[in-house]
Structure formats: structure tokens, C-alpha cells
Amino acid sequence: MTTALITGSTAGIGAAFARRLAADGHDLVLVARNTARLQEQATELHDRHGIEAEVLTADLSEDDGISSVEKRLGDSRRPVDLLVNNAGFGNKGRFLEVSMADELRMLKVHCEAVLRLTAAGTAPMRDRGRGGVVNVASVGAFVPRGTYGASKAWVVQFTQGAARDLAGTGVRLMALCPGFVRTEFHQRAGMGTENVPGWMWLDADKVVSAALADLARGRTLSVPDPRYKALMGVVKLAPRGLLGGVGSRAGRKYAPK
């Protein structure tokens, strides 16, 4: 039986990955900051699907938290076959309205943790000749809007570059770029979403189904909805200055994911 490790597993897209992978018969390593929520999630998934669900409490904004997950990924006795780097958050406010501590914390979670965990996970996968990594980014990666968009743009570029470097090894890497998903993400960040049209909202379970299908196809980038695929086509053609203005206004209220 294969094992998947999911960061940020207790809510939103991470929880949807956990539900889907457990239903498909994968054992899980569930990673988040809240031990009580992790234990509750692990028990529910074990009882419902009969899989083994291991709990690993870790704060990926801290070196010790990242190191503990790196150690688990490197355990040759309990190999991880699929890594889902999902942990992330948003900050409410424009540049200079957000504290530097919070900006640096975001880079730690969105960039450094993704880099280190991807390296820790893919090294043993390459040795075994199989494995996969899904790094959760955002359509915000394609719109200029501060640290959040920049960090997600880094995730996309890093993932696609690493996928190219590991081509032919049996290890697949993919950046997942959802739009607005109905999760706790915006509430936790204190972001209002009242101005987001209903058609822009996605279901987390459907996002995960599309992502896993794209990973199986060998894609290195997944935009999991025809509406957002079309929207990203428009974004590619729009003047950069116009996108910057839209991103700046949106950054005060909400961010995709």
C-alpha cells in the first residue's frame, strides 16, 4: 500500500486530498499545527476507509517544524510515495500594510518549506524510481499582487524546473493552481469575499480530482477548472500594468486559493 504525506491536511484543499487519497486506499501522514484536529482527522479517515493515518504536528514557519517533516520524508523504512505541499496562508493588506515578520513567515512556509520538503521527498523517490509531488500554488501566481502572488509564482517556476530536471527518473512533480476555493483560507486571513462572483468559486474535492488526474497524465501545471483555464488565457494577453492594478486592488480584500 502506498503512503501520501500532506501538509496543511486538516482544512481546505489539504483535507480534500486526505479524503480522496484515503478513499483510494492510500495510507497517510497528516501534517499540520493543531494536534487535536490532526488526531480527529486521522481517526475519522482510519475508521471510514481502513487506512493507516499517522499524525505529525509541525509548524512549517519554524525550522524545527520543517526539519521534522524532512526527517519523516527521509525515513527509508516508511517510504512516502506522494508528497502534497499544501500548507499556506494569506495576509490581509497591501505591501507595507503587512508586518515584515508576517511577510517573512509567508516566504518561509510558501517557499523555503516547499523547497526543502520537495528535496527531502524526491531524493528517495528518485532512488526507488517512482513517486510524485504536488505543490499547491494558486492562479494568483500569474497576477502581480505582492508577496502572496510572488511566492506562488516561485512555487510554479520551481516545480516546473525541478520536474524538468527529474524527467526520466520516475518522479513526477506538478504545481496545482486553483482559483477561489470554498475553504477556511479567506476567513483565517480575515479577507472579505463578498465581491467574488459565485461562478468563480470552486469545490475543493473537485479541485483535488482534477489535480490527481493531471498528475497521472504527467502534467507539470494544473489549473483545475475550464473557467480558470479560460481566464488564464485572457491574463496572458492582458497588459502587465493592467493586471498589476487589478491585483493591487484585489490584494486588500481577497486572494485566490
**Catalytic annotation present for 228:** no
Active-site residue, selected from the candidate residues 106, 121, 133, 148: 148
**Nearest of 229, 225, 226, 231 to residue 246 by alpha carbon:** 231
Q: Check if the beta carbon of residue 51 is closer than 8 Å to that of residue 45.
A: yes
Please state, in angstroms and as integers, the Cα–Cα distance from residue 163 to each residue in 18, 183, 188, following that order.
Answer: 23, 28, 32
Please state, in angstroms and as integers, the Cα–Cα distance from residue 40 to each residue in 55, 56, 85, 130, 240, following that order.
Answer: 10, 13, 21, 31, 45
Residue 111, all three cell numbers: 517557499
Catalytic positions are 148
